[in-house]
Amino acid sequence: MSQPAVSEQIRALERRLGCRLFDRLGRSIQPTRQAKLLYPGALAILDDISRLEQELTRQASEVAGEILLGASTIPGAYILPRIAADFKTRHPEVSFTIRISDSAAIIDNVLNHELLLGIVGTRATSPVLDFVPFVEDELVLAASADRELGNPVSLARLAQLPFLLREQGSGTRKTLEEYVLRNGLDPGRLNTVAVLGSNAAIKEAIKEDLGVSILSRISIRDEVHCGRIREIGIRDITLGRRFYTVTHKKRTLPNHYDVFLQHLRRAGEKPNPGSPEAAGV
């Protein structure tokens, strides 16, 4: 800075503080008592600013801290644990909390800034939410291994079977209702015998032959392998769907969230994370 510019800055500081900082003695200047009081405090402020800049730089590049995720049942129970474990081997300073709820609740949590990142089985129309396709899934008709049932069944036959439904707000239920409507069947015509709040509860009810249900193929893989549940086809219908990552467009993700989100999307580009191929089976 030039000498006049420095002088002007000093005069501006003196006006702001309401005191003189230098006595001008001819061609020399001497600091006042107030200047001697100000100087060490100013140095401390500059040190604090420097440390803050270093901390912000470190935080911007560090992959550490808790990641709170919201997920609907299938990704939360069957897909995310493996991906989170793989990420943690690469970044051991990260910890995870996975909040499992239905898709509608997770979307609402992201919309209201209670969650930074969600994985859901349906997408909503919102100008402030960003939905990005994550992995493909397929819904299949699941029945007890003991139930005598042809394979495949027609849609008309499906309407006659005792049916187990997920609760309102479930991505699985929404996908089922959309598909049967598209194929000329009113969801209200299903012979619903129970509405249950989780996939685990529905699977247990199927094992006891309380009824049949439409479930994610990922979620019944182990039960099919063990012979407790059968997968039944529905004639002329394939119930494909996608899971999505959901974020708020106006929120800036912390670095460890952003790095995990990129890892999550790369994992979604590989064979289905819940499939036997991805597991090496």
Q: What is the pLDDT of residues 11-35, one digit of tens each?
A: 999 999 999 999 888 888 899 999 9
Most confident range, picked from 60-64, 83-87, 179-183: 83-87
* Lowest model confidence (mean pLDDT) among 9-18, 58-67, 204-213, 256-265: 58-67
- Give the lowest-confidence range in 58-67, 101-110, 224-233: 58-67
- Concatenated DSSP letters for 106-132? HHHHHHTTS-SEEEESS----TTEEEE
Averaged pLDDT, 100-111 = 92
Q: Using omega within 30 degrees of 0 as the cis cutoff, is the peptide bond preceding 152 cis?
A: yes
How confident is the model at residue 274, as a pLDDT? 44
CA distance 281 to 275: 8
Could you give the CA distance from residue 189 to residue 238 in angstroms, rounded to a whole number?
A: 20
Query: Which H helix or E strand runs over 202?
Result: helix 199-207
Compute the distance between CA of residue 207 and CA of residue 190 in angstroms, rounded to an integer: 20
Number of CB atoms found within 10 A of residue 53's CB: 10
Mean predicted lDDT score pLDDT of the chain: 86
pLDDT at 275 exceeding the cut of 60: no
- The average pLDDT across 76-105 equals 92
Q: Which pTM value belongs to this model?
A: 0.64
Domains annotated for the chain, with CATH where assigned, are: 3-61 (1.10.10.10), 66-281 (3.40.190.290)
